[in-house]
């Protein structure tokens, strides 16, 4: 069955370190998205991609970057982790020829100390 996976599921890191969160999907979807979820804010869009070598900034992109070298993967990098980036991160994908529904990965809980 097609799926979307994220790794690691939990991560603790120190302020100032570079961190990369992985997202891999086997749906063969062109669209991929990264969100963060914090209490009181719902899901907020960080970066998104509509295909290989395409990346776009979302609502809360400062301090984050992504790259898309193939269809299956969209890694999210925190260049220099800050305590404000402690959050749960969700990756999602969608089929551009389908509806707008996105399918979510299980999430990564990141703690920056």
Partner 1 sequence: EDKVVQSPLSLVVHEGDTVTLNCSYEVTNFRSLLWYKQEKKAPTFLFMLTSSGIEKKSGRLSSILDKKELFSILNITATQTGDSAVYLCAFSGPQGAQKLVFGQGTRLTINP
Question: Which residues are near partner 1 by CB under 8 A?
Answer: 31, 33, 35, 40-45, 48, 50, 58, 90, 94, 96, 99-107
| Nearer to partner 1 (CB atom), residue 8 or residue 16 | 8
Q: How far is CA 4 from CA 34, 40, 102, in A?
A: 12, 26, 11
Residue 106: CB minimum distance to partner 1, A: 5
* Residue 110 exposure: Cα atoms within 13 Å on the Cβ side: 32
Residue 44: CB minimum distance to partner 1, A: 8
Residue 17: CB minimum distance to partner 1, A: 26
**CA 49, CA 89: separation in Å to the nearest integer?**
16
| Nearer to partner 1 (CB atom), residue 85 or residue 102 | 102
| Nearer to partner 1 (CB atom), residue 101 or residue 113 | 101
| Nearer to partner 1 (CB atom), residue 47 or residue 78 | 47
* Residue 79 exposure: Cα atoms within 13 Å on the Cβ side: 7
Radius of gyration from C-alpha coordinates of the chain: 13
Residue 8: is the preceding peptide bond cis (ω within 30°)?
A: yes
Residue 9: CB minimum distance to partner 1, A: 10
């Amino acid at each position: 069955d097609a799926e979307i996976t994220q790794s690691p599921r939990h991560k603790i890191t120190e302020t100032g370190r570079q961190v990369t969160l992985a997202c891999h999907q086997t749906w063969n979807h062109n669209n991929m998205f990264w969100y963060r979820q914090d209490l009181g804010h719902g899901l907020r869009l960080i970066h998104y991609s509509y295909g290989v070598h395409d990346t776009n900034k979302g609502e809360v992109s400062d301090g984050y970057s992504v790259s898309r070298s193939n269809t299956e993967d969209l890694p999210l990098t925190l260049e220099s982790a800050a305590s404000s980036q402690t959050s749960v991160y969700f990756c999602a994908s969608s089929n551009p020829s389908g509806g707008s529904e996105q399918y979510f990965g299980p999430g990564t809980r990141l703690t920056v100390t």
